[in-house]
Every structure is written in C-alpha cells, then in structure tokens.
A and B are shown apart, each in its own frame.
Chain A
Amino acid sequence: MIMTRLSKYRAALVAGAAVLALSGTAALARDLTVVSWGGTFQDAQRELFFKPFAEKTGKPVLDEAWEGGYGVLQSKVKAGSPNWDVVQVEAEELALGCADGIYEKLDWSKLGGKEAYIDAGTSDCGAGHIVWSVALTYDGNKLTGDTPKSWADFWDVKKFPGKRGLRKGAKYSLEIALMADGVPANEVYDVLATPEGVDRAFKKLDELRPNLVWWEAGAQPLSLLQTGDVVMSTAYNGRITGLNKTEGTNMKLVWNQSIYAVDSWVILKGAENKDAGMDFIAFANAPENLAKLPEHIAYGLPVKAAAEKVDPKLAPDLPTYADNLAVSIPLNVDFWVDNSEELTQRFNAWVAQ
C-alpha cells in the first residue's frame, strides 16, 4: 500500500518537473511584444506592420495596448526583464525615460540616419512614428452657419451656447487657455514659464468652468459630440477623420491653433527581444511601409521620405500638411518634463474647487 502511494507521488513529481521544464523553455522564447495605443489605430498598425513583420522574419509578434503613464514603463524596467519590448510613447515619456535611462539606445544606422526624420522625431532612445494633433472639433451637422475658428470662439459661450469638452489635465488646457486669452501661438510657452502666465491661464479657465466637461479616453470626446452632451471639444485628429469615415459623421476639425506632438517607438531597457525590436522599428518606419498608415488613420509621418509618398488626396487631413503646420504649434516637451508635476497638482486643486 505504502509502496504504491509513494510511487504515485513520484510519478506526480516527475510530471510536475516536466511541466516546469516545458514552461521554462516557453518563457525563453517569448514573442516580440509591441505595445501601442489600442483602438482602430492599433488595428491599422497590426495589418500594416505587425503581421507583415512576423511573416517576413518568422518572429511572432504579440501586440498589446496601453493607456500611457511613465510610471508604468519605469516600474516595468525597474523590476528587471520587462515583459514588453517595443512601446509607442508620447514625447514626454520619451524625454523622461531617455534621461532616466529606461530605454535602449537606438541604432540609427538601421533607420537611415537622423537626417531622414523631422527634428522632433529624433532622439537617442526613440524614433518618431506619427505626428498627431489636439484640435478644436465640432459636429458639422449640428453647428451650421457661423462656426468656431479659434480658441477664442471656444470660450465664447454667447455665440456658441453649450458645454465644451477638454482633455482632463494641465497639459493642453493651459496652452489653449492662453491662446484663447490672446497670447500669440509662438509665445505660449514663454508666457506659461512665468508664474503670472500660469495664473493667467487658470484665470481664463475659470471663465469657462461652468461649461466644461472633462474627458480622458480618446474615444470620449467623439461620443460626447455625438450625443450632444457638448457642442465642441478638443480631440485627437486621427480619431475624427476615422469616425467620419467609418460612421459617416460630419465632425469638423479646426487646424488653427492646434497643438501637435510626435509619438515615438522605444525599446525598454533590458528587453529580451531587443534586436528583433530594433528590426521591427526599422520595418515599421521604412518609408514604403509607413506611407500606408494615413490611408487608415489621419496621422502625420515624421519620416520625410514616407511623408512624400502619401496620397495627395489624404495629405490635407494630416497634421504635417504644410497649411496645417503653419497655423499650429508643437507641444513643448521640455516645458512639460520640468513642470508637469507641479502644474498637475495645481490643476487638480483648481478642478477640485
């Protein structure tokens, strides 16, 4: 009796060890994990970059979505051997992480050199992937006749009664408030760098407070506009063009005084698939591949050769279109890297009043 029981245990042990050994080898062969911002944008990326890359190299690609947050990346790298390899990050996360050393240095020779990119798209740690804008948006079917053309109009609740949507946070809200208050677009960050400028921005926000609805996720402003909860809102430009195309809506976007920024690919420090990640970035940003992206979603391209290949019919929808660039300003990453925490705290305090 005892003998049979013992041998049963032994069998179980052997089986357990085998499973462990198998899972060990499985862990060794983790797929290349690429993380982007989800939604229709990532669907497009999957078709254009992830699948073709996996087919070409035979290296399976696992794609995941995230919602931003520097802390997420930092804690992954700090914990050692991160489970993500390549991540698409915003400019601020790029700057912070590059200074903190949580990203691998890129091999720019594989990317055609920094001169192949627009300036905002180059960094030791990141290669620009898209250019996107935050812009004033309204429903062209609901607002007819006189339409808003600037942030000053956004503030004009007499002319355009109704609520307004703003992305919740100090970033964008303060710049927009200053522009609405008459600060010329190219002086916004100079004014904001002074305590008086910050006070001025908050004071301007005070005016609009009763009419503000805050949004956080990128899909929210569109549904707010569709349901009529707000009459105009800030929104990500790519989402608007996408919605108009898929749902036949007539959302209008005001390029004047819009704020654009570059999203970049980075490789997390110590990532297991570092080399494959580098190859992936080169593949996704190769002009012939990247140029197809605007057919799916209206983001600009920081790779000069790719931008040139874009279908001229699509170009006017992109932030990088010359006429659009002329009337918009770039997000000042250095300013936000320095002041994000303090201004966020103050913004939260202001919101809480």
Chain B
Amino acid sequence: MSRAPQLKALVLIAPLLVFLGVFFVWPLVTVISQAISDPAISRVLPRTASAISGWNGQGLPGAEVQAALRADMAANTDEMAMGDVIRRLNASKSGFRSLMGKTVTALKESPDKPLAEIDKRWGDTAYWLAIRENASPYTDAYLLESVDLERGSDGSIQAKPAGSSANGAIILRTLWTGALVTLCCLLIGLPYAMVTASVTGWKRALLLGAVLLPLWTSLLVRTAAWMILLQENGLINQALMGLGLTNAPLALIYNRFGVVLAMTHVLLPFMVLPIYSVLLTVPGNLMGAAASLGAHPVRAFLRVLLPLSLRGVISGMLLVFMSAIGYYITPALIGGATDQMISSVIAFYATGSANWSMAAALGLILLVLTLVLYALYNRLSREPGQMG
C-alpha cells in the first residue's frame, strides 16, 4: 500500500520523462554520435579496414589490402550501406563516387580483374589514404572540418588550405550577426519595456499588443513583409524618394542591414517580455524614493531601475542571441550571399548532400556555443538572484 503514492507520482511524471527522453536526450545522443562516429566503412569493408591499418601511407598498399577490398566488395549485399561508404569516401576525396561505382560494376562482371586495370585512379595514393583515414568507426574529422581544420598525412591537426572551407568564418559571422541583432533588440527593447511597464490601462495593452503581434504571425509571412518593404522599389525606398530624401534607391535588402533589421523585428518580443516581466516586480515607488533621496532621474535610472531590470535584460539578450544564431529563413530570404549563417550550411549538409555527420558536427558546435552562453548566463543571473 505504501508504494501506491510513489507509483502514482511516477505515473504522473511519466509523460514528462518520456517527452524529455524522446525529444531531448535521444536526439542529443544521436547528434553527438553522428558527429564523431561513422561505422559505415568498418562494417561494410571490415577486411579492408583491418588490412589497411598496417600500411604506412607511402606509395601504394600491398596486394593483401587490394585483395581484402575486392573480397569485401564481393561479399557486400547491402547497396544502401555501400552508398554510405561511398558518400563517406567521396567526402574525403572527390571522385570516389564514380570510382567505386565503376569498380563495383566491373567486379561483378570479372571478379579477378586487377583494380588498377579497372580504373587508373586506384594507382593514386590519395584514394587509398582516404580509405585508411576513414577505416576507424570513430573520427574527429567532422568536428575538425566544421572549424576548418583537418589531419595532415602525418596525423597532426592543421588548418585546411585557405579558400577551401569557410565554416569558421561563417560561425564567426553567425555570432556577429547574433550579437548585432541582440544589441539592436536591447537598444529598442529596454526603453520599450520600461515605457510599457510604467503606463497602465489601454496604453499598456496597446504597447504589449504591438510587440506581441509578430509572435502571432508566421515567421515566413513576417519575412515576406520585410521583403516587400525593403526591396529596391519597395515602400520604404518609394517613400524616401517621394520625400526627396534620396534620389537613388537605397540598398536595404540582400545585405546585412536588412537581415539585422528583419531579425530584430522578429526577435524583439524575446527581449521586451523578460525585461517587462522583471520590471513588473519592481515596486513602483523606487524611482520616487531615489528622487526624494536626491538622485537626478538619469542617475536614479542608472543606479536603481537599470540594475533591477538587469536579470530581465540578461535573459532577454540570451534568448535573442540563442534564437538568432539558429536563424535560417530570414537570412536566406533577406540576406545577401555574405549574410548566410551556419544553419544554411547545416541545411546543405543535411538535406542537400545527406552528409549527416557533417551536419551533426556543425550542429554540435552550435549547441556547445549555446551551452557555454547558458552557463555564463547562470553565473551572471545568480548574483542579482541572491540579492532579491
């Protein structure tokens, strides 16, 4: 009987546990394992994988490695698994796809034909190096590549050749854009929240409504609306030219300005609402008290209202920044080519080239960045918390 309440409690939280497990833990584990492991080659080409580990990487591997590869290819029956192998090898060395396709077909017809006769590329060390590099089921290649690093032929970590990869630059750009958007949201959102918290009745309802409205329309619609406003013959340019403020249309879209503007609009509620809710808990007469104690309104703001709203400000900044660095649609539609953020690269690897490991590795980097920020937030917000 005494176990009944426990059981009841367990049943009550079961949906939550299941939810956390299915929508949080499981994807996380999948992403991490995808980013650091790819067992395709060790599974489909097991003989090759073990044989090639003895090769020193100079010249061409011995006959036993070539025989192992031939045997593995003959033994394989799972086309889709072979597809994974090919994709992985081709990601390391372009050309592997057609090479393997050709080899598989040729070996079906004459299983004993020497590899070098099937395609002269088998005489190229680079292809064999690619196999050796991918033979282990665990790899840091994807994580390295997502920050523009690679392992050299001697196994040391080195930067990729200039101009061949821009993940690092795009991650930095993502952070920079996120920071810009956060700053803009702060500059608009803080005064906005303060005004909203200081008025009452219909004025407050109106201000809150105005900031909440974007949340009730879809992201795509809002982004499209900005496109209409900002384009070369859009409303803003027409208005500016109509007023004679400019005689040529301003470049408002397909650049960083447009992206930051549209993202600021979309994310503003995430800045205003936390600050507003913190301000609501600040007693209304503190500013009056400060004034009666001799504080000029500006000093009263700096010494009293600003520190008290800091917790909301930090939550707001974090929310905005973390949402911003994951943005995809808005930069894709309103940004120019140099405004794309890391999500678009992830999307390319995931949906475009089915390179899930690369997508997972980049996603992991984004996740780690977010976690670091969150830890920072926890530290920052604990201090005012203790004071309260």
Binding site for B on A (CB under 8 A): 68-72, 74-75, 77-78, 96, 99-102, 168, 202, 212-214, 216, 227-229, 269, 334, 337-346, 348-353
Contacts and interface: CB of A to CB of B under 8 A. Distances in A.
Contacts of B80: 77-78, 100-102, 269
Interface in B306-341: 332, 336-338, 340
Contacts of B72: none
14 contacts: A71-B350, A71-B354, A75-B354, A96-B354, A99-B83, A99-B86, A216-B332, A227-B233, A228-B233, A341-B94, A342-B94, A348-B348, A352-B173, A353-B169
A168 B337 contact: yes
Interface stretch (B1-9, B159-167, B185-193, B194-202): B159-167
Given A338-B97, A342-B94, A352-B338, 10 more contacts: A71-B350, A74-B354, A96-B354, A99-B86, A101-B83, A227-B231, A229-B232, A337-B97, A338-B96, A350-B163
A75 B87 CA distance: 14
Contact of A341 (B79, B83, B170, B353): B353
B165 A102 contact: no
A337 B340 contact: no
Contacts of A344: 348, 352-353
Given A99-B83, A101-B80, A227-B233, A71 B340 contact: no
Contacts of A168: 337
Contacts of A99: 83, 86, 97, 101
Contacts of B163: 202, 346, 349-350, 353
A353 B337 CA distance: 10
A348 B170 contact: yes
B11 to A, nearest CB: 15
Nearest to A202: B163
Given A75-B354, A349-B165, A101 B79 contact: yes
A339 B91 CA distance: 9
Provide the main secondary structure of the chain B interface: helix
B90 interface: yes
B232 A228 contact: yes
Contacts of A74: 83, 354
Contacts of B355: 71, 341
Contact of A353 (B96, B166, B233): B166
Given A227-B233, A352-B166, A69 B352 contact: yes
B114 to A, nearest CB: 23
B345 interface: yes
A71 B351 contact: yes
Contacts of B233: 227-228
A337 B83 CA distance: 12
Interface string B150-192: 0000000000000111100110010000000000000000000
A29 to B, nearest CB: 28
Contacts of B90: 338, 341
Contacts of B87: 100
Interface centre among B84, B101, B253 (most CB of A within 10 A): B101
A346 B95 CA distance: 16
B203 to A, nearest CB: 39
Given A75-B354, A350-B163, A338 B340 contact: no
